Amino acid sequence: MASLAAAVLPSSRSVQVGTTATAFTTVINPGTATANGVGISLNTGIPANFSYQTTDPVTNLVVGTPNTPVNIPPGQRQTFVIALTPAGPVAPTDVAFAFGGGNAPVISGVDTLLFSASATAVPDIVALAATANNDGIVNIPGANGNGVFAVATVNVGTSATITASADTGTAQLPVILFLCQTNPATSQCVNPPSPTTNPVTATINGGGTATFGIFGAGTGTIPFAPATNRIFVRFRDAGGVVHGATSVAVRTQ
């Protein structure tokens, strides 16, 4: 079985029951043999109908036939759009996928989708992170250096007061995180960066956007382990329910 690598963007969707949520997936075959019959299926049990279809990687337009596996030549990639239509409420769940014709390790925040569904309309914060080298990695120069990245969001759901926070997930990393909302035109903080023990609150209207800066102050050495050493940015409603998330890898250089 071929060894594959995969990524899902955006990293989260939050919709009303019966509404279809979509995301894009890229599957890479880094091996020397063709990965035959690569399809995608749900690997987490949730009450939702699932489908996938290949896309043109340049335009993101769908091509091919829905739910039809494809072959991926060695050293090549294939892009897909995936769709989840919930049949009932789903609490925020880190949904994993299985890739037929190969084996891709499950990496939370990379090839999973934080998914939730509610009986009523909800905010749906689509968040994308940008690092200095556009490679999804925050580099902290030295054990006591500082790193930074930006997050842009759009609310494709209902208007809501949203609290943004940053954390390192289950990993205990030697880094202190700060966060601020930024002016999208200048990228400057509109208020002083706050420690993530004091999350930033912003009203994001339906169809509206908001941008944020996240700063990491190193307090030790962080090895390069992108599957585990990551910074997550999460967006919660007034009830504490996560309606958006994104993440980047972090390391000391």
Convert the pLDDT of each residue in 90-147 to its tens digit. 999 999 999 987 788 999 999 999 999 999 999 999 999 999 999 999 999 999 999 9
In b/e form, how buried is each residue of 90-110, taking b as 16+ CB within 10 angstroms?
bebbebbbebebbebeebbbb
Which helix (H) or strand (E) segment is 151 a member of? strand 146-155
Task: Please report the pLDDT score of residue 102 as a whole number.
Answer: 72
Alpha carbon distances (Å) from 246 to 9, 73, 163, 202:
9, 30, 14, 17
Q: What is the mean pLDDT of residues 40-64?
A: 95
Question: What are residue 158's DSSP bridge partners?
Answer: none
Provide the 3-class DSSP secondary structure of residue 80. Answer: strand
| Secondary structure (DSSP) of 28-67 | E--SSS-EEEE-EEE-S--SEEEEEEEE-TTT--B-S-TT
Task: Please report the pLDDT score of residue 1 as a whole number.
Answer: 64
Per DSSP (E only), the strands in 159-241 are: 160-167, 175-182, 194-195, 200-204, 209-218, 230-236
**Cis? peptide before 226, omega within 30° of 0:** no
Q: Which of 66-80, 169-183, 189-203, 226-240 has the lowest mean pLDDT?
A: 189-203
pTM above 0.85, yes or no: yes
The number of residues in the chain equals 253
